[in-house]
C-alpha cells in the first residue's frame, strides 16, 4: 500500500533558526558604515528629495524645461534639449550629465552614487535602472563603492534594462528590454539577455 506520509518541513526538522556560530558569517552588517556620506551631501540629498517628490513629480508631462531647471539648480549638467519625465528618479543630480536631445523616460531610476554621464541623442526607456553604486563584497564591512557609468551617444536602452556599476555603453548601441548589463558594451551592437551579450551588429540603414 502506498504511503501517504509527507516529508517534514524545514521548521519541523531544524526547529527555529539558530544563531550562527561565532565567526561563521563573513560580512556582518553591524560593521558597515552608518553614515557613508558627508553631512553636506546628506543635506543636499534631503533638499533635492523634497523638490523631486513635489515640484518635479507633479509637474506637467511636457514641462521638460521646468524639470531641467531644478536639476541644473542642484548641479546637474543638462543640455538645452534634454530632460526627464515627472516619474524619473535621480539620486544625486550633481553627479548627472546629459548631452543634447537625450531623454529619461517614465519610471527610469538613476541611482547615481557615482557619476553618470549620458551622451547626446540617447534614450532610456521606461523603468530602466542605472546603478552607479555597489559594495565591496570581498571585505567583511561591505564598504560603499561609487563607480561611474557612461552611456554613449545615440544609444537606446530599452524598457526595464539594468545597467550595472562601472559600465560603458558604446555609441549607437541598443540594449534589449530587461537586459542585465554588467560589462562594457561595444559601439554599434545590439545586446540582450541576462547577463547581456552581443547578439548582432546594429543595422544602420540610411533614411529613404
Residues annotated as catalytic are 135
Gyration radius of the chain's alpha carbons: 22
Residue 117: in which H helix or E strand, if any? strand 116-118
C-alpha to C-alpha distance for 45 and 78, rounded to whole angstroms: 19
End-to-end CA distance of the chain: 76
State CA 200 to chain mean position distance: 25
C-alpha to C-alpha distance for 88 and 38, rounded to whole angstroms: 25
Closest CA to 124 of 159, 75, 89: 159
C-alpha to C-alpha distance for 29 and 25, rounded to whole angstroms: 10
Q: Which three cell numbers stand for residue 159?
A: 524598457
Q: Which three cell numbers stand for residue 103?
A: 531623454
C-alpha to C-alpha distance for 39 and 160, rounded to whole angstroms: 33
Amino acid at each position: 500500500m502506498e504511503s501517504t506520509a509527507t516529508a517534514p518541513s524545514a521548521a519541523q526538522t531544524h526547529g527555529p533558526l539558530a544563531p550562527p556560530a561565532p565567526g561563521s558569517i563573513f560580512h556582518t552588517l553591524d560593521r558597515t558604515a552608518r553614515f557613508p556620506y558627508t553631512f553636506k551631501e546628506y543635506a543636499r540629498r534631503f533638499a533635492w528629495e523634497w523638490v523631486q517628490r513635489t515640484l518635479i513629480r507633479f509637474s506637467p508631462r511636457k514641462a521638460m524645461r521646468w524639470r531641467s531647471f531644478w536639476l541644473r539648480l542642484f548641479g546637474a549638467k543638462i543640455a538645452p534639449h534634454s530632460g526627464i519625465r515627472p516619474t524619473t528618479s535621480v539620486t544625486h543630480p550633481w553627479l548627472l550629465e546629459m548631452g543634447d536631445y537625450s531623454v529619461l523616460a517614465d519610471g527610469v531610476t538613476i541611482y547615481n552614487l557615482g557619476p553618470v554621464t549620458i551622451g547626446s541623442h540617447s534614450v532610456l526607456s521606461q523603468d530602466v535602472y542605472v546603478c552607479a553604486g555597489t559594495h565591496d563584497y570581498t571585505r567583511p564591512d561591505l564598504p560603499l563603492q561609487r563607480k561611474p557609468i557612461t552611456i554613449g551617444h545615440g544609444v537606446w536602452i530599452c524598457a526595464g534594462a539594468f545597467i550595472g556599476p562601472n559600465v560603458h555603453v558604446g555609441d549607437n548601441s541598443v540594449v534589449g528590454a530587461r537586459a542585465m548589463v554588467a560589462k562594457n558594451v561595444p559601439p554599434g551592437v545590439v545586446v540582450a539577455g541576462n547577463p547581456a551579450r552581443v547578439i548582432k551588429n546594429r543595422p544602420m540603414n540610411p533614411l529613404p
